[in-house]
Amino acid sequence: VNESGHLFLTDLAFAQAMHEIDPEFGTGNRLYAAPERWQEKPELSYGSDIYSLGIILFELLAGQLPIGCGTAAQYSPENMQQSGHLLREKNPLLPSAVERVIARLLSRQSARRPSAAELVPVLMALEIETFGQHINPTHHRRVA
């Protein structure tokens, strides 16, 4: 985040030592993997990256990852419901519109996630709507 408040996001998941690459999972970070990434023959798409963005936004707003991240079991409806409660608990000032967007990003079905072209105007509208509001998590998040 720069001094003007603009966020710059860089994906460095490819920056792994060869001996650290999981032969079953491949490259990337399990904590931010979309549900389809856990399938035997994953069918990855733009929606997989949109899901990962949802995890990052969740972590920024809640101060921690959703329940069960990093396992195939994280996608159970129960975990997703608990994660929704966790987001509201950790960040009670979070506007419901932001919560709804994150829920769409974290949809279990890739086809239900918005495309980048659909997401940009939604995020821009949320930025305008929430400008000046402090919607940081009530608990400190981990340092990168």
pTM: 0.70
Per-residue pLDDT of the chain (144 residues; tens, 9 = 90+): 777 777 776 665 555 555 555 555 556 677 788 887 766 776 777 888 899 899 999 888 888 888 777 666 666 667 666 777 788 888 888 888 888 899 899 888 888 999 999 999 998 998 888 776 665 655 555 554
Q: How far apart are CA 19 and CA 88, in angstroms?
A: 39
| pLDDT score, position 42 | 67
Report the Cα 49 to chain-centroid distance in Å: 9
| pLDDT score, position 116 | 92
Q: Strand ranges (DSSP E) for 3-128?
A: none
Residue 65 backbone dihedrals phi, psi, to 5 degrees: -75, 160
